[in-house]
Amino acid sequence: DAEITQSPRHKITETGRQVTLACHQTWNHNNMFWYRQDLGHGLRLIHYSYGVHDTNKGEVSDGYSVSRSNTEDLPLTLESAASSQTSVYFCASSGNLYNEQFFGPGTRLTVL
Amino acid sequence: KQEVTQIPAALSVPEGENLVLNCSFTDSAIYNLQWFRQDPGKGLTSLLLIQSSQREQTSGRLNASLDKSSGRSTLYIAASQPGDSATYLCALWNFNKFYFGSGTKLNVKP
């Protein structure tokens, strides 16, 4: 069955370190998204991609970057982790804008 | 800017009750609206997707409606069960952005 996976599921890191969160989907979807979920803020869009080599900033993109070198993967990089980036991160994908979004299981990131 | 509101924030009902969850939005220019369920510590599971041209969608005990003119969607759950306990979120596409509501936390008591 097609699926979307994230790794690691839990990560603890220190302030200032570079961190990369992986997202892999086997749906062959063009669109991929990264969100963070925080109490009091709900889900917020970080970055998104509509296809290979396409990336776009969401509403909370500062301090994050993505690159899309193939259809299946959209890794999210925190260039220099900050305590404010402690959150649960979700990756999602969809075939096109009119289709359902499917979410991964999430990565819980703690920045100390 | 699009705003998505879900009321109530929490709801507790006895098993077997029919219930309605509400989602309201301020800008009717949407591509589609999607309802999700989220269990504690888990990801989001898609329940129903309504395209902007549709009025409702049904899946099993779930029925979602969409009224763009009033900026409202409802999720109807028939004959609720304890396994329905979760947080329910609505989300919609509007001008290249996906907007989420803050969710309704549902508790169905046995």
Summarised one tens digit per residue, pLDDT across range B23-38 is 999 998 888 999 999 9
Counting one residue from A and one from B, how many pairs have CB atoms under 8 Å apart? Answer: 44
Nearest Cα residue to B89 out of B74, B78, B100: B100
Give B42's contacts in chain A (Cβ within 8 Å): 105-106
Q: What chain B residue is nearest to A103 in terms of C-alpha separation?
A: B44
- Lowest mean pLDDT across B14-23, B56-65, B97-106: B97-106
User: Can you give the pLDDT at residue B105?
Assistant: 96
User: Can you give the pLDDT at residue B98?
Assistant: 82
Cβ pair B93:A105 closer than 8 A: no
Give A100's contacts in chain B (Cβ within 8 Å): 34, 46, 49
Cβ pair A103:B31 closer than 8 A: no
Residue in B34, B37, B44, B104 to test binding to A, most A beta-carbons within 10 Å = B44
For the cut 80, the answer to whether the pLDDT of residue B19 exceeds it is yes
Cβ pair A99:B49 closer than 8 A: yes
Q: How far apart are CA B1 and CA B70, in angstroms?
A: 17
Q: Please write the tens of the pLDDT for every residue from A3-60.
A: 999 999 999 999 999 999 999 999 999 999 999 999 878 899 999 999 999 999 998 9
Q: Please write the tens of the pLDDT for every residue from A60-110.
A: 999 999 999 999 999 999 999 999 999 999 999 998 777 889 999 999 999
Q: Where are the alpha helices (DSSP H) in chain B?
A: none
Cβ pair A101:B45 closer than 8 A: no
